[in-house]
Amino acid sequence: MTIGLADLNHMAQPAFVAAIGDAFERAPWVAEQVHAKRPFDSVTSLHAAMMGAVRAAPRDGQLAFLRSHPDLAGKAARAGQVTDDSRREQASVGLDTLSDDEFAHFNRLNDAYKAKFDFPFIVCVRRHTRDSILRQFELRLGNDAATELAAALQEIFYITRLRVAAKVTGEGMPKVNGRLSTHVLDTQAGRPAVGMAIEFYEYVGGRAHRLVTTVTNTDGRTDEPLIGGRPLPIGRYELRFMVGDHFRARGIEQGDPPFLDIVPIRFSVAEAETHYHVPLLCTPWSYSTYRGS
């Protein structure tokens, strides 16, 4: 259920808070404060006003707000004591299906983090792969208190921006999604490579987990983006192109075994709200790739 920005702009405070208050975890006071600032000319400025209220809050209020967030992959989440939004977000990156060892590891990191900073580790999980969350955890454990408070508020910014964008429709939507696409050109034939099978993997702990198996269409692209309609999770990926099969099906000499068979392209995503285009130009004896646009 989404609500229009125009409707929000006309709501009395209680309805306004009921509509969007829970974008900020257990903090209806954020919506209460910004109600007076209506009307908002864009969804982006609505969200900016809400973040402004958080940033203007006294330090104690900010800390209380941060402390109201559940542990990442923590006992509360396992026990079902978190908000629906939190549960869905954590599930999106597989944090709801950790092995007992992984669960213990996350809990140890959580404990070390809370011992140092006195609030739980907060990260916008929809912007990260599981590996990237672990790396963030380790990096941020090294921060000093002031730097880490800023880092935690920046993650709140990402989390709530996604929630607001999911709840409210209207002018000036914030840019919250990225896209990953590919394109295969058969430069031996001077044409798109049609019908080439592609596998797409995410690296988790040094191992490649297959996310998608697809095939190129008549334009050498995939009908759907490899990732789209959501933030691109920051992390390491690999595309595998079945180049050998493509040329074998066309009867092209390529050696036996073929010089190129499965062509892997390993790359990382560093910006979650951006378009990454990773094409392949190939012959049976050569290929190239690049970050395109």
Footprint of its own copies (CB under 8 A): 132, 183, 185, 187-192, 219-220, 234-236, 254-264, 266-268, 270-271, 281, 283-293
In Å, the largest CA–CA distance within the chain is 74
Least distance to its own copies from the beta carbon of 118, Å? 28
**155 closest CA partner among 229, 212, 231, 207:** 231
* Cβ closest to its own copies, residue 50 vs residue 263: 263
HEC string of 189-223 equals CCEECCCCEEEEEEEECCEEEEEEEEECCCCCCCC
Question: Which residues, including other chains, have CB under 8 Å from residue 158's CB and lie 6 or more apart?
Answer: 124, 127
**197 closest CA partner among 182, 213, 184, 208:** 213
* Cβ closest to its own copies, residue 43 vs residue 151: 151
222, amino acid identity: T
Least distance to its own copies from the beta carbon of 250, Å? 12
* Cβ closest to its own copies, residue 90 vs residue 254: 254
Least distance to its own copies from the beta carbon of 189, Å? 7
b/e string for 81-104 if b means 16 or more Cβ within 10 A?
Answer: ebeebbbebbeebbbeebeeebbe
Least distance to its own copies from the beta carbon of 177, Å? 18
Task: Read off the tokens for 293.
Answer: 């646009």
Least distance to its own copies from the beta carbon of 280, Å? 10
Pairing between strand 184-186 and 280-283? parallel
Least distance to its own copies from the beta carbon of 269, Å? 8
Least distance to its own copies from the beta carbon of 15, Å? 41
* Cβ closest to its own copies, residue 26 vs residue 183: 183
Would you call the peptide bond into 258 cis, given omega within 30 degrees of 0 as the criterion? Answer: no
Task: Read off the tokens for 7.
Answer: 């409707």
Report how far residue 152's alpha carbon sits from residue 142's, in angstroms, rounded to the nearest whole number. Answer: 13
Check the CA dihedral 83-51-38-3 and report its sign.
negative
Give Cα separations from 13 to 9, 28, 256 (angstroms): 10, 11, 73
* Cβ closest to its own copies, residue 70 vs residue 231: 231
* Cβ closest to its own copies, residue 31 vs residue 260: 260
* Cβ closest to its own copies, residue 4 vs residue 255: 255
Report how far residue 62's alpha carbon sits from residue 222's, in angstroms, rounded to the nearest whole number. Answer: 45
Least distance to its own copies from the beta carbon of 183, Å? 8
* Cβ closest to its own copies, residue 40 vs residue 137: 137
H or E segment and range at residue 75: helix 75-78
